[in-house]
Homo-oligomer: A and B are copies of this chain.
């Protein structure tokens, strides 16, 4: 629902191309918000029509031409307006659709071997993601000289959330493997 506001947020840092925004998203918050170019470009277009953004086309020689978007006063107003009404999103954060857990939920249809395989592969993925957390932290640290301290402080909070959640997913899956080993079938 709020790709719009994610885009406004990035552009409130500085004017950028759609490509730049996607890159910044990918480096700093790929695990909480995923975007595709096709969606970003469409959305930027619609936002410009609403008067939240302006764009300037830059002709380049050695590289493809590009379009730099900048946030307008209307856009800033919209962003602050949205930030002032977080109620729904605060509630929704705890009810996230999770296809993996649906599989655990339905695992009684399979056998012990399949259930354990599911859990072990989740464990592997957790470990791989935990190892990536430092990359995210480094990507944020690289921005520390460009942006206000408040900016990267907020970003680090999100990363800290990732750390704790990943650890508890790992704790869970190890416990779950034990339980399935002892009690399934």
Q: CB within 8 Å of B: which residues of A? A: 1-2, 5-6, 9, 12, 28-34, 79-80, 83-84, 86-87, 89-110, 114-115, 118, 121-122, 125-126, 129, 148, 150-151, 153-155, 157-158, 160-161, 164-169, 171-172, 175-176, 179-180, 183-185
Asked whether B184 lies within 8 Å of A160 as measured between CB atoms, the reply is: no
Known: A12-B109, A102-B5, A158-B105. A114 touches B153 (CB 8 A): no
Q: A4 vs B180: C-alpha distance in the bound complex, in angstroms?
A: 26
7 A-B pairs with least C-beta separation: A93-B100, A168-B168, A89-B99, A9-B106, A108-B150, A32-B101, A164-B168
Cβ of A39 to closest chain B Cβ, rounded Å: 12
Instruction: List B contacts of A176 (CB < 8 A).
Output: 157, 160-161
Interface centre among A129, A154, A185, by most chain B C-beta atoms within 10 angstroms, is A154
Smallest CB gap from A13: residue in B:
B108
Q: A77 vs B35: C-alpha distance in the bound complex, in angstroms?
A: 34
Asked whether A172 lies within 8 Å of B160 as measured between CB atoms, the reply is: yes
